[in-house]
Amino acid sequence: MDLLDRLLGHDTWTTRQILLRCREVESELHRPFDVGHETLHATLVHMIGNVRVWTDLMRGAPVERTGSSWNDLSLAELSERHETASADFAALARWVRDGDRWDERWLDVLDDPPVEKTYGGAIAHVLTHNMHHRGELLHMLARFGLPDLPEGDALSWEVANLASG
């Protein structure tokens, strides 16, 4: 397994673990905190929506923005969107890797004016962006008093991945 597959596996699995732990406080997903996007729900929408948007941008596909239609998504629906967005992002990232397209440029049409970006830079951005917001989510979950939260690090993912198969 190469570094990209490790990073993609860690990213998807760790967000999935946080989504599972959010079930324990599902009735409180919209409770405000003084961190991140202020609620578990809003932070999850932001993260999952960004993976979708960046993937669509890099593909040159129409962009589905996270508007008010995302505000009412249930935790189960967010989990489904996470799995789909993560799989699509991983497929794109592997296409970049397999074609050695890391430094190739694409046009980010959401910037005004549009700006060229590299695939490698955008993929690194998405993965580090998610890690940042997972830290905020873990902080919120800790403030609910949930015990035994995952650390969220790559080695924890690797240990769990090796143990499962």
In this structure, what token pair is assigned to residue 151?
Answer: 């650390």
Q: Of 42, 6, 49, 51, nearest to 22 (Cα)?
A: 42
Q: What is the pLDDT of residue 160?
A: 86
Q: Where are the alpha helices (DSSP H) in the chain?
A: 3-22, 40-59, 75-98, 119-143, 154-164
Write down the domain spans for the chain.
3-164
Cβ neighbours for 77, distance < 8 A, ≥ 6 positions apart: none
pLDDT band at 69 (very low <50, low <70, confident <90, very high): confident
Lowest mean pLDDT among 33-37, 38-42, 74-78, 85-89: 33-37
pLDDT surpassing 90 at residue 67? no
Mean pLDDT value across the chain: 94
* pLDDT of 165 over the 70 cut: no
- Partners of 151 in the beta sheet? none
Residues 126-135: tens digit of each pLDDT: 999 999 999 9
**pLDDT-based confidence at residue 143 (cuts at 50, 70, 90):** very high
Distance between CA atoms of residues 144 and 146, nearest Å: 6
pLDDT over 80 (residue 66): no
| Mean predicted confidence (pLDDT) in 15-32 | 96
Residues 6+ apart with CB under 8 A from 119: 58, 96, 101, 102, 103, 104, 105, 106
Span 3-164: which CATH code? 1.20.120.450
Which residue would you say has higher pLDDT here, 159 or 65? Answer: 159
| Start-to-end Cα distance in the chain | 13
